[in-house]
Structure 1
Amino acid sequence: MKCIYYLGLREETLQLFQQQLREIQLEVVTAEDILTQKADLTVCDILLVGEQVENPVRIAQQTFSKDKAISILLINDRANHQKVKSALQFAPFVGPTIQAVSSELGTALVPIVEDAMQRTEQRRSYVRIRSASTSVTAFTPNYMEKVRVSYMTRVLDEAPIGAALLAKDGTVLNVNNYIVRLLGLSDKEILGIAFAAHFPEVERIALQDFITDGYLSKQKHIFELGSADDRKFLEISIGDIDANSSSPYKIAIVNDVTEAAQARQRTLAHIDELQKLNEELQRVNEDLDTFVYTASHDLKSPILNIEGLVNLLEESLSQEQLGEVPELDHIRRSVERFKVTIEDLTEVARIQRSFGQEATELKVADMVTDVQQLLQPEIEKAGAMIEVDTQQAPVILFSRKNFKSVLLNLMSNAIKYQDPQRQLRIHIRATLHDNRFHLSVQDNGLGIPAGRQERVFQLFKRMHMHVQGSGIGLYIVKRIVSNSGGTVSVESREGEGTTFTVSLPALTHS
C-alpha cells in the first residue's frame, strides 16, 4: 500500500486527503522525526509539509539531503504560499523534487499529490536500474540512442502543438496526436496524402506553394480549416529537417490560433462599425451646422423687417399714444434678444466651419491686450483689475480669430459674473507643461454652485439668471478647444470665484 507522510496539516486539508485518497495510508510524523532520521523515508511515497509548520523550507532541505527521490509538497495558505515559493528559489540544498502549492486549490490538490507520488516511484525505479548489476552492454551507444529516440517521440507525440513530418512534395509521413485531433481523422486517413489535401479547396494551392518554397520567404502563414460553422485558423510554419544537408524531409509546425484570429476579426469588425458610425455622426454634424448657419442667416431678414415695422409704428405715434402701447417696448426688447441669439448661432456655425483654420504664431500678451481694448467699456464700468502673466508661455501656434474668441468669452464671462460686494480681479496666466499650452483665467466673482459646474459648457446654459447673457459663450470656447484637440475645465467655489483652464497641444512650425 502506498504511504503518505504528513506534518502540520490543517484539519480541513487533512480531511480532504482522507476522503479523496482512501486507498493510501496517511501517517503523521513530526519535524523531529525528519531531522533525527527517525522516520524511514524509503517506505513512503511523499512528504506533505502543512500550513502549521513554522519552517517548511528547512524541513524540505533536511528531507532532500536524505532522500533525493521522494516528492516533497509544501502546502501553505494564500498569505504564505508566495513567501515560501520565493524562499525556495533562493534556498540552498533544494532540488526539483520540492514543490510549493497553495491550500486554496482545494480538491485540485488531490491530483497534484497523486502525480507527485507517481514521480517518486519513477525516480526510485530509475535509481534501482542504475544501481542494479546490469551488464555494461545494456548501456551501449545504440541502446542509449534508442532510449533517446523513444523519449523524444513520446514528448513530440504529446506536445500541445501540431507536428507533421512531410516529404519534399508535402506528402504526410508522420503526425503527432495534436494533428490527429485537429483534423478529426485517423492516422490511416492522414498518412501518405498531401498535407494540403486535408484543407478546403480554396486554401490548397496556397498551402502547397507555401510548403514547396513559400516558407523560404515567409516564416509563418495562417490558413483556414473546415467549413463556416466549424472553421479553424491554423498558423503553420515549415522548416527543413536539416538545412545543411540534402535531406528530402520537412517538418510542419501547426498552432491553432482560432481564438486569436476570431478576436482580431471581431475587433476589425467593431473598428469598421465604429468608423461607419463616426462617418454618419460627422455627416449629421455637418447637416446640423449647415442648418444652423442657414437658419441664422435666413432669420435675419424677417427679424430686421419686424424691427423696421416697430420703428415705423413708433414714428407714426405721438408720445401720448406711445405711453398707451407699452407692448411696443416689449416687442423691441424681444427683437433685440432674438438678434443676439441669431448672432450667437451664427458664431457657433462659424466656429465649426473654421475647424482646421491655418494656425499662426501669436504673442499671448498682445492677444490679451487686443481683447482688453474690445472690452474696455465693460472693464471700466466693472472697475476690474487685470493681471497678465505670460512669461512661461509667451507664444502659441493657433488660429488668431479662434484664440481671440476664447479669450473674449472667458474674460467677458468673468466681468459679467463679478461679485458686487468686492472689486473684481482677473488673473490671466499662460504656462507650458508636458508639451501642452495651458491658459487659465481666474476671477474672484460670484462662483458657480458645485452641482452645476459640469453644465456650464452646455448650449444656452446660464448659472446666474439675473445676469444678462445668452448662455452660449462657454459652449463656443469648448467647441474651439475640442476641435483643436484640447480640453477646457472649470474649478469654482460659490462666493469665492472661478478658474477656467484651457489645455492645448503645444504645436510648433513644421
Structure 2
Amino acid sequence: MLILDEEEIVIEANTTVCNILNVSKQDLINKKIMDSGVVFLNEHYTEKRHQTINQLQEKGKVTNEEFKITLKNGQEKTVLVSKEYLKIKDQTRVLVTINDDTKRKETAEILASQFNELQKTNSELDSFVYSASHELRAPLSSVLGLIQLIKMEGVDPKLYQHIDMMEISIERLDSFIKDIIEYSRNKHKNIDFEPINFNTLIEQSLESFWYLENSKKIKIDINIDDKEQFVSDSKRVSVLLNNFISNAIKYHDLNKESPFIHINVKTSKKEAILVVKDNGVGIEDVELERIFEMFYRVSSKVMGSGIGLFIVKEVIAKLKGTIDVTSKIGQGSTFTITIPNESGKL
C-alpha cells in the first residue's frame, strides 16, 4: 500500500509494495511514483492513468485498473492498482493498493495456450476416430458378405462351426465400431429438432435386431400414446431406443415360460416418457451403479462393446433428459427415460 498527497507524492509506503517494485522505502518517499525512475508505463497505460486520476477527482470513486509496468531493473510486471481519494482533516490523500498479478497472469496465459492446444488435439483425434471407424466398417461388411456366400455354397460341418465363430467375432467388432461412430456423432453433431414418430423409430429398431439370437422367441408389446406432438432429435432418440431394445433382447431369459419386452411411450406438451421393461436376467444392485460407465459390461457371455449405455447417458444429457433404472436378479429390468418436448423450438 501507498499513501500519496494531493500532488500524488508518496508520503508513506509499506514493505510489501517496496518488494513488489524492488526498491527501498527511501526510493519512494517524497517522490511521484511515476516520475521517480522506479516505475515506467507505456503510452497506452500513461493515458489510462490520467483518465483514472480525472475520474477520481471528479466523481470521488474508487478505481481498479490493471497495468503492465517495467521496473528500474528492466523487469516487467502486471499489477492491479486500486485508488481512492480521501479527505483527512481538510487534506487530500490518495490511498493506493498494489497487487502483483504477474504470476497469475503468466499462469493464465500458459493455461489458455495449453487449453487451445488440447482443443485442437481433441478435435483432430475425434476426426481421426470418426473417419477411421467408417473406413474400418467397409472391409468388415465385405468379410461378412463373403462368409454368407461360403455358407450358401455348403461346407464341411466342422468348418461351418468355425465360420460361425468368425461371423460372431466380426459382428461384435462391427457393433463396437458403430458404437464409436454414435458416440462421436452425439458429441459433435448439433441437435436437430423435428417431430418424432415413435411407431416408425421402434419398428426400425426391431427390424435392425432380427439377427440377434432367439429374438423371435421374445414377445414384444408396444403401447404408444402420442396424441400430443413430440419434438426432439430423431436420430438421438433412435440411438436410445436401439440400445434399450437390443439390451433387452441380449439379456433375455428363455428359461421363463413367456419372455417379454414391454415398450411404452407417452407424450405430453412437457415431455415424452419412454419405458422399456423386460423379464430378463436382471442386474445386481452393485452393478446398477456402474452400467453407465464406459466399457463396463454386466456379463462377458453377451455380445457387446460395453459402450452402449455410456452413449445412452451422453445422449440423454445432450437432450437434457433423465433416466431411471430398476432391476432385480431373475425378474428383469425397467428403464424409464424422460425427454423434454422441444415443440417450442421447432
Same-fold status (TM-score > 0.5): yes
Deviation per CA, 1:245-273, whole angstroms, max 9, x where unpaired? Answer: xxxx97543213236x6446535543543
- Distance in 1 of aligned mates of 2:323 and 2:75: 51
Shift of 1:382: 1.6
Look up the match of 1:270.
Answer: 111
Are 1:410 and 2:235 counterparts?
no
Residues 307-338 of structure 1 deviation map (CA, whole Å, 9 limit, x = unaligned): 545655x3xxxxxxx5xx33321233134324
Q: 1:163 and 2:3 equivalent?
A: yes
Matched, 1:235 2:81: yes
Partner of 1:329: 160
Alignment of 1:439-478 (within 5 A): 439-453=274-288, 454-455=290-291, 458-459=294-295, 461=297, 463=299, 465=301, 473-474=308-309, 476-478=311-313
Structure ranking higher in helix proportion: 1
2:66–2:78 CA contact under 8 A, matched in 1: no
Q: Is the Cα–Cα contact under 8 Å of residues 196 and 207 in structure 1 kept in the other structure?
A: no
Query: What TM-score comes out, normalization by structure 2 length?
Result: 0.70
Distance 1:464 1:293 in 2: 26
Which of 402, 422, 426 matches 2:262? Answer: 426
The alignment partner of 2:189 has SS state of coil
Output aligned runs, 1:7-406, within 5 Å: 161-167=1-7, 172=9, 174-178=10-14, 182=18, 184-187=23-26, 189-193=28-32, 195-201=34-40, 203=41, 205-216=43-54, 219-224=63-68, 226=71, 233-237=79-83, 251-258=93-100, 262-263=103-104, 266-267=107-108, 269-305=110-146, 307-309=148-150, 311-312=152-153, 314=154, 325-341=156-172, 343-345=174-176, 347-351=178-182, 352-353=184-185, 355-356=188-189, 359-363=192-196, 365-367=198-200, 370-371=203-204, 374=207, 381-388=217-224, 395-398=230-233, 400-406=234-240
Give the Å deviation of 1:294. 1.0
Q: Work out the CA distance in 1 between the residues paired with 2:282 and 2:100.
A: 58
Q: Which runs of 4+ in 1 moved over 6 A?
A: 227-230, 375-380
- Considering only aligned residues, what root-mean-square deviation do their CA atoms show, in Å? 4.5
Partner of 1:33: none
Letter in 2 for 1:165: D
* Aligned-partner residue type, residue 131 of structure 2: T
Q: Displacement, 1:283?
A: 2.0
Alignment-derived partner of residue 98 in structure 1: none
Q: Secondary structure at the match of 1:175?
A: strand
Alignment partners' CA distance in 1, 2:185 and 2:126: 11
CA gap of 1:264–1:353, structure 2 versus 1, over 3 A, is same
Aligned to 2:333: 498
Report the Cα distance in structure 1 between the residues aligned to 2:339 and 2:238, rounded to whole angstroms: 15
Provide the rounded CA distance (Å) in 1 between the counterparts of 2:15 and 2:42: 17
- CA shift at 1:342, angstroms? 5.1
Q: CA deviation at 1:458?
A: 3.7
Q: What is the TM-score normalised by the length of structure 1?
A: 0.51
What is the distance in 2 between the residues matched to 1:308 and 1:299?
A: 14
Q: Give the superposition deviation at 1:290.
A: 1.9
Query: C-alpha offsets along residues 47-79 of structure 1, whole Å, 9 cap, x if unaligned?
Result: xxxxxxxxxxxxxxxxxxxxxxxxxxxxxxxxx
Distance 2:82 2:24 in 1: 19
Give the equivalent residue in structure 2 for 1:16: none
Question: Equivalents in 2 of 1:228, 1:440: separation in Å?
Answer: 70
* Residues 1:375 and 1:471: Cα distance change in structure 2 (over 3 Å): same
Q: Which runs of 5+ in 2 are unaligned?
A: 57-62
How far apart, in 1, do the equivalents of 2:266 and 2:39 lie? 65
AA partner of residue 407 (structure 1): L
| Deviation, structure 1 residue 476 | 4.9
Matches of 2:256 and 2:298 in 1, distance apart? Answer: 21
Give the letter for the 2:107 counterpart. R
Bigger strand share? 2
Letter in 2 for 1:362: P
Give the % identical residues. 17
Query: Tell me, what secondary structure is at the counterpart of 1:445?
Result: coil
Show structure 1 runs of 5+ residues with no match.
1-160, 243-248, 315-321
User: Aligned partner of 2:193: which letter?
Assistant: T
Assess if the C-alpha contact under 8 Å between 2:147 and 2:167 holds in 1: no
Could you tell me which amino acid in structure 2 is paired with residue 370 of structure 1? E
User: How far, CA to CA, are the matches of 1:336 and 1:455 in structure 2?
Assistant: 27
Task: Give 1:165 shift.
Answer: 1.5
Structure with bigger RCO (C-alpha 8 Å, 6+ apart): 2
- 3-state DSSP class of the match of 1:397? strand
SS in 1 for 2:171: helix
Q: Is the 8 A contact 1:180 1:186 kept in 2?
A: no
Q: What secondary structure is seen at the aligned counterpart in 2 of 1:405?
A: helix
Structure 1's 276 and 442: CA in aligned 2 closer, same or farther, altered over 3 A? farther
